[in-house]
Amino acid sequence: SAVISQKPSRDICQRGTSLTIQCQVDSQVTMMFWYRQQPGQSLTLIATANQGSEATYESGFVIDKFPISRPNLTFSTLTVSNMSPEDSSIYLCSVEDPDRQGYNEQFFGPGTRLTVL
Amino acid sequence: AQSVTQLDSHVSVSEGTPVLLRCNYSSSYSPSLFWYVQHPNKGLQLLLKYTSAATLVKGINGFEAEFKKSETSFHLTKPSAHMSDAAEYFCVVSATDSWGKLQFGAGTQVVVTP
């Protein structure tokens, strides 16, 4: 199974600033995903990031607010731009990795807990 | 389109008694279904998954779930709750045409009392 790390694990930021979150995987994967978990809520998919192409954003999320990079098959970044307190959430990256039967499983990173003041 | 509904936002059980977490799904295509667990301040862990093989799926830590197409349900059960089972549980659906996108349910908070 894929092992995923994220940096930073948590941060406290001022409104109007931007934060870039890094996601590193210990193996090459095609598809990476970014999720947001607002306080007390479930996870919502922000975007899908495939290497070599532009990220695909879900409804309600735009590239200007959440630019994503995917420079290679083991790394991705998500930037939260021009932050407001409403952006306070846990941001998680995930990857698809096949199990022994060839079915894709998604593995999640530990998350980045962001607080915007 | 796909969606998932967790019927209970909060479940409280006594240690040693059975646990039942209910989940109904909606999917236009043959779905894959998952249960994930999230312990406080920890990452998400996959408990089990259904991918069109056996309808009764066994997972880690004694959990199992049964896929019932006629009822569009995928309820999670455990015969005997342990204190360490206290966590948030998410039912998740992925359709074959969704390119890996997961749709999460709202979650069920499980409390285990001694």
Summarize pLDDT for A26-46 with one digit per residue, the tens: 999 888 999 999 998 999 999
Quick check: B89 and B64 in contact, CB under 8 A?
Answer: no
B-chain CB neighbours of A105 within 8 Å are 46, 49
At A105 the pLDDT is 80
Domain assignments of chain A as residue spans, ordered by start? 16-110
Terminal Cα-to-Cα distance of chain B (whole angstroms): 42
Angle at B50 between CA A109 and CA B20, to 5 degrees: 90
B-chain CB neighbours of A43 within 8 Å are 44, 90, 102, 104
Contact A104 B107 (CB under 8 A): no
Inform me whether the pLDDT recorded for B95 exceeds 70.
no
Domain assignments of chain B as residue spans, ordered by start? 2-113
- The tokens describing B54, both together, are 């056996």
- The tokens describing A98, both together, are 């096949």
At A75 the pLDDT is 95
- The tokens describing A63, both together, are 């590239």
d(CA B21, CA B23): 7
d(CA A4, CA A93): 8
At B42 the pLDDT is 81
Length of chain A in terms of residues written: 117
pLDDT digits (tens, 9 = 90+) for B26-70: 877 778 899 999 998 788 999 999 887 788 999 999 999 999 999
> Is CATH 2.60.40.10 the right assignment for the domain spanning B2-113?
yes
- The tokens describing A49, both together, are 């990031």
Report percent pLDDT > 90 for chain B. Answer: 71
- Pairing of β A4-7 and β B64-68: unpaired
Phi (first) and psi of residue B85, to 5 degrees: -80, -5
The mean pLDDT of B86-111, rounded to a whole number, is: 86
At B32 the pLDDT is 87
**Could you tell me which residues of chain B have a Cβ less than 8 Å from any Cβ in chain A?**
32, 34, 36, 42-44, 46, 49, 51, 53, 90, 99-107
- A16-110, CATH topology level: Immunoglobulin-like (2.60.40)
